[in-house]
Amino acid sequence: MGEIQNQENILLIFQKIIEQESKTSTYKFALLRAVIDLITAQSPHIEERATHVAIPVQLVSDKCFFYYWDLIAENYSQIHSGRTLAFEVQLKELQSSFQNYWDFKQEFQNPNYSEELKERFVSLAKVINETILKNPVKYIGTSMGQGYYSLFQVEGGKAIRSKSISGYFDLLLCSPKILLEKSYFEGLKVYGGLLSGSNSIIMNWVDFMQNKTIKGPSKSNKAETIANEDLAVYARRSPLELLLQSDLAERQTASIRNFWLQKMKNGHSVFCTWSGEPIKKIEDLAIDHAIPFSVLFNNDYWNLVPAKNSINSKKSDKILSKQQLSNSKSRLLSIWKEYQSKKELAPIFLSQCQISLAKDTEISLEKLYDKFLKINEGFVDLRGMESWYFSKEAENIN
């Protein structure tokens, strides 16, 4: 009972931070949302210490690129008084070179940068890392009455020098870390989904950009009002839509889709990951986000698997049950082995696995599966999300 009470107190602390502390920019929302997303995804780069956890700032920056990419492209204000974010000019320059965030991410998380992109990526990483440390990390939590650095403390890293950087992993190694007390870490693990949902961080972020408060009987109605009003008045994607990444066109799966399509065209058998049934027609092929995109915002190759369209529709945005993962384990490992062995996919697949699943130099597919299972189960155990498994009997009935 004491532990539950402590976690509820922590929830109230974070709620107060989000609702009551000064809002001069959206940096605070971005930092909190990034930390919650990294904890939810169980990032292998979060280090647990005796009393604190250490989170590389570079991972937070990575999330900020994702959050801000479309918001900046659509010219939504992120700071008061007509000023721009510290990294906005550089990010806009990159947007002119990349069609969308996912193309940028694939290049940015590369273990080896091209000379053409290296200086730009390193410079951008420096600016956004410093911005996070000097702004939200310093000021967030002042409502706790303990002055600056009340919630997060800073642990230095190696200096980022262009000559010493080969690619993304060097940025991670050189990244300073922010420290968060374990009690807060555990609280966010349990309640992070509530804080990051439509009733808190994201809706406050939307309110900030709208520069007004939409009054209504409930916050659920408020979300709908903001979205509808913005689309009608501005004829562009609403800030709520951008923050929730609900636009299906943003789910870039082309490389993996083309890989499986080519196998089918060459006469190779392709099987549905969840049912084990052969996918005989090209129009029956779907590329499924094993852990739904709507909860993890992840387009990494390890999360993209072939499925039959009919079965993918039934799975929808549900979380895989333990039984389903057990039934599909051999197929999932086989898929990853294929990605690992193909020269056109292997470098990106390995890099994404080291960033999201296991930071080991040598990738073990069994270890990847164990981590994948742990992340997946977290959405059921900690978020209470609905789980799903394929039932042949139910399929026949339907």
Contacts 24+ apart (CB under 8 A), 259-268: 259/342, 259/344, 259/345, 260/285, 260/287, 260/306, 261/285
pLDDT value at residue 218: 44
What residues does 47 pair with on adjacent strands? 54
What does the block give as tokens for 396?
């026949």
pLDDT for 250 equals 44
Q: Helical H runs in the chain?
A: 2-20, 27-40, 57-73, 88-95, 101-108, 115-134, 136-139, 168-174, 182-195, 201-210, 219-234, 239-244, 254-265, 293-296, 309-315, 322-341, 346-356, 365-381, 392-397
Distance CA 223, CA 167 (A): 40
pLDDT of residue 17: 87
The pLDDT value recorded for residue 204 is 74
- Yes or no: say if 28 and 140 are a contact pair by the CB < 8 Å rule: yes
Say what the pLDDT of residue 220 is: 45
User: Which residues is 154 bridged to in the sheet?
Assistant: 178
Asked whether the beta carbons of 138 and 171 are under 8 A apart, the reply is no
Cβ neighbors of 114 (< 8 A, separation 6 or more) are none
Give the span between the Cα atoms of 30 and 144, in whole angstroms.
20
Q: Give the other-Cβ count within 10 Å of 109's Cβ.
A: 21
pTM: 0.82
Q: How far apart are CA 146 and CA 163, in angstroms?
A: 40
8 Å CB contact between 65 and 132? no
- Residue partners of 27: CB distance under 8 A and separation at least 6: 85, 131, 132, 135, 136
How many CA atoms within 13 Å lie on the side-chain side of 356?
26
Backbone angles phi, psi at 55, to 5 degrees: -120, 120
Rounded to whole angstroms, how far apart are CA atoms 388 and 314?
9
pLDDT tens for the chain, 398 residues long, are: 445 557 668 888 888 888 888 888 999 999 999 999 999 999 999 999 999 999 999 999 999 999 999 999 988 889 987 789 999 999 999 999 998 999 999 999 999 999 999 999 999 999 999 999 999 999 999 888 889 999 999 998 877 888 889 999 999 999 999 999 999 999 999 888 777 764 467 777 777 776 543 444 444 444 444 444 444 444 567 776 777 665 544 457 888 999 999 999 999 999 999 999 999 999 999 999 999 988 888 999 999 999 999 999 999 889 999 999 999 999 999 999 999 999 999 999 999 999 999 988 788 999 999 999 999 999 888 777 889 999 875 555 44
What pLDDT does residue 196 have?
A: 74
Among 135, 126, 172, residue whose Cα is nearest residue 154: 135
